[in-house]
Every structure is written in C-alpha cells, then in structure tokens.
C-alpha cells in the first residue's frame, strides 16, 4: 500500500485524539469520582443505580418512620409505667382503708389522696408527643380524658372521666409493605367511665374514693381486686408496647444494615476505582506521548531534507 505523509499525519492525529479522548474521559471520572455520567455510559448499571438510590430513599424514610414510632411508643410506655405506679399506690391505700379498725374520718383523708391519684391518672391519659394526644385514637388533637370534679356535700355525686377520643389506630410503614400500628387508643388501656367494664383505671379509682368517703370497709376491700384487674390491663399494654419497641428496633437494625449494603452496592456500581483509574491515566499519558513522539519523527523527515 502506498503511504502518503497526509495518511501518516491523519493516522497520528486519529491516534492522538482517541488517546486524548480516553484521557479526558478518565480525568472526568477521576474528578467526579463517578464511573458514568449518562445512561448510555452503562445502561444496566445506571438502571440498577437508580433502583438502589430509590430503595435507599425509601429506607431513609422507613428509618425516620421507625424513629417516630419509637418516640411515640416510648412516650406511651413512660405514661403506662407511671400509671402502674399510681395504681400500685392506690392499691396500698385500699388495703389500708379496708382495715376495719380505720375510722371513717381517716378514710376520708385517704379518699383525698385517691382523688389526687385520679387527677394524676387523667393527666397521664392526656400525655402528648409532638403536640399530639397519644391516647386519643386518631382524634389526636382532642384531649382524650376530661375529668368532671366532684360536687361537694352529701349525697356524694360520683365524679366521672369521659373519653373523648376514638378507637382508631394509626400505622406507619416500617419496611417495604409492612406497617405497624403506633398508637394504643386510650379506651383500651385507661378506659373512660363510659366503659361499662369494671376494670377501667378511672372507674376503679372513682369507686375506691367513693367507697372510702362512705366509710364502706367491705366495698373498699372489694375494690382491691378491681385495682389488680386494672393493673393487669395496664401491664398488658406495657408488654405490648415493649414488644413493638423490640420489633421496631430490630427492623431498624436491619434497615441500617440494608442501607450499608446498598451504599456499598451503589459504590460498586458507580464509584471509580481510584487505583485503577490512575493507572489508566498513566497508561494513556504514556501512549499519548509515544504517539506524539512517533508522529513528530515521521512528519519531520522527507526527501526534501536531503535534496540540495
């Protein structure tokens, strides 16, 4: 094949420019740290990358959901634990009041303390998290328990506690397709006076106080067992919250682990291997210089140089 200087020059230009193109591509990769910029650089990796990013965004959200649920649950747990303590104290008082040796006047004094306990219990039932009443069902902006104080003087008018919430529950999504209820409506654990069951935390306290005020030892003694029922009810709620918290923490750990996996997957997909890219750049630089040197040598010489 006949070779002309122009062919040599074109070939050299071609070599130099393709080397230069690769050099520029690698340098872009080095400076951005990313292996590709546009889908056509590697369609399958880009698609996987998008998928991973979207999953990571979901997981960030799930983790944030779990954190909210945890805070919510912990607020409830604290309220329930305090409520159990209050019932415990009420039980001690009831045991004391059931003692037949106690005069009615002393029983009225005990009754006053029970009234305090009742007031505390109402404020526990109105616990809030992030400005929302956590025991109001889905009526989160409504104060769930309202206390109607005793009207003074005989005959004794029993005070009542009304539940203003509903029995709705709220669920958060904590992992793909999995939701968990975050609230226990107050009518389940505390129960209002509207509830006919005897084990309502409020009803037993109101009954106890009324019986103390009336000096009815037998009735007060009977109230002790009702308080036990209310305490059982309360501890069921605490257990169920504990289980929820455990589950949430477990899922959270799993999500954290998953997030780490995804991060490393994304890095595998997208991130530049610096050692590799630096080596490639060095290679291309060498090739570039070789092409230039070879080119400059072949272009310089021609027959013209030797003719006089």
Partner 1 sequence: MDGFLGINIARKALETSQYGLDTTAHNIANANTPGYSKQRVILGTTEPFPAPAYNRPMLQGMLGTGVQVKSIERVRDSYFDGQIRKENQSQGYWETKDNTLKQIETIVNEPSDSSLQNLMSEFWNSWQTLSKNTESRSARSSMLENGRMLATAFNQLNSKLSSLRDNLNDQVSTTVSEVNDIAKRLAELNHNILETKSFGVQPNDAMDERDMLIDQLSKIMDIQVTDLSNSVTVVTVGGSQLVTGYGYNELEVVPNGANNGYYDIKWKVNNAALNVNGGDLKSLLDSRDTLVPGYRAELDTLANELVTQVNAVHNTGYGLDGVTGYDFFTGTSAITIALSTDVDNNPGHIAAAGTAPVAPATTPAPGDNAVALKLAQMKDTKFAIGVPPTTGTLDDYYRSFVANLGINSQESGRMVENGQSYVDLIEQHRQSVSGVSLDEEATNMVKFQRAYEAAARIISVFDQMLDTLINQMGR
Cβ pair 50, 262 in contact under 8 A: no
Site string for partner 1, 8-37 (x = CB under 8 A): --xx--x-----------------------
Query: For residues 192-231, which are near partner 1 according to CB under 8 A?
Result: none
Stretch that binds partner 1, among 73-81, 153-161, 174-182, 281-289 (CB under 8 A): 174-182
Among 248, 190, 256, which residue's Cα sits nearest to residue 70?
A: 248
CB 87 within 8 A of CB 235: no
Give the nearer residue to partner 1 in terms of CB position, either 5 or 33.
Answer: 5
Q: Which is nearer to partner 1, 138 or 221 (CB)?
A: 138
| Segment interacting with partner 1 (CB under 8 A) among 6-14, 89-97, 113-121, 152-160 | 6-14
Site string for partner 1, 76-115 (x = CB under 8 A): ----------------------------------------
Nearer to partner 1, 146 or 221 (CB): 146
Helix, strand, coil fractions of the chain, as percent rounded to 5: 70, 10, 25
Q: Which helix (H) or strand (E) holds 108?
A: helix 104-125
The Cα 137–Cα 127 span in angstroms is: 12
Rounded to whole angstroms, how far apart are CA atoms 121 and 124? 5
CA-wise closest residue to 298 among 80, 15, 73: 15
String of contacts with partner 1 for each residue 45-74, x by CB under 8 A: -xx-xxx-xx--xx-xx--xx--x------
* Contact status: 164 vs partner 1 (CB under 8 A): no
137 belongs to the binding site for partner 1 (CB under 8 A): yes
Q: How far is the CB of 201 from partner 1 (least distance, A)?
A: 22
* Residue 304 sits in the site that holds partner 1 (CB under 8 A): yes
In eight-state DSSP terms, residue 178 is E
CA nearest to 114, candidates 150, 157, 163, 155: 150
SS3 per residue for 20-84 = HHHHHHHHHHHHHCECCCCHHHCHHHHHHHHHHHHHHHHHHHHHHHHHHHHHHHHHHHHHHHHHH
Report the interface residues with partner 1, using CB under 8 A: 1-7, 10-11, 14, 38-44, 46-47, 49-51, 53-54, 57-58, 60-61, 64-65, 68, 130, 132, 136-141, 166, 168, 170-173, 176-177, 179, 183, 270, 302-304, 307
């Amino acid at each position: 094949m006949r070779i002309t200087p122009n062919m040599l020059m074109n070939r050299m230009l071609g070599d130099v420019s393709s080397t230069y193109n690769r050099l520029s591509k690698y340098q872009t990769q080095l400076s951005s740290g990313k292996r590709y910029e546009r889908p056509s650089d590697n369609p399958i990796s880009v698609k996987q990358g998008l998928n991973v990013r979207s999953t990571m965004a979901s997981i960030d959200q799930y983790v944030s959901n779990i954190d909210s649920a945890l805070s919510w649950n912990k607020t409830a747990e604290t309220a329930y634990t305090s409520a159990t303590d209050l019932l415990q104290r009420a039980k001690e008082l009831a045991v004391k009041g059931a003692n037949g040796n106690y005069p009615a006047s002393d029983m009225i004094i005990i009754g006053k303390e029970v009234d305090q306990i009742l007031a505390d219990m109402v404020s526990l039932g109105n616990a809030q998290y992030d400005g929302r009443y956590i025991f109001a069902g889905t009526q989160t902006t409504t104060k769930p328990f309202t206390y109607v104080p005793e009207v003074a003087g005989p005959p004794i008018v029993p005070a009542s506690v009304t539940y203003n919430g509903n029995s709705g529950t709220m669920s958060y999504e904590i992992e793909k397709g999995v939701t968990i209820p975050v609230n226990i409506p107050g009518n389940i654990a505390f129960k209002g006076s509207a509830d006919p069951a005897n084990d309502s935390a409020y009803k037993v306290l109101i009954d106890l106080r009324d019986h103390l005020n009336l000096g009815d030892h037998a009735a007060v003694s009977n109230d002790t067992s009702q308080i036990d029922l209310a305490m059982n009810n309360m501890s069921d709620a605490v257990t169920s919250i504990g289980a929820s918290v455990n589950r949430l923490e477990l899922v959270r750990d799993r999500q954290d682990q998953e997030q780490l996996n995804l991060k490393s997957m994304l890095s595998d997909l997208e991130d530049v291997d610096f050692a590799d890219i630096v080596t490639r750049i060095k290679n291309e630089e060498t090739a570039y210089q070789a092409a230039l040197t070879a080119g400059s040598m072949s272009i310089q010489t021609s027959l013209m140089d030797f003719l006089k």
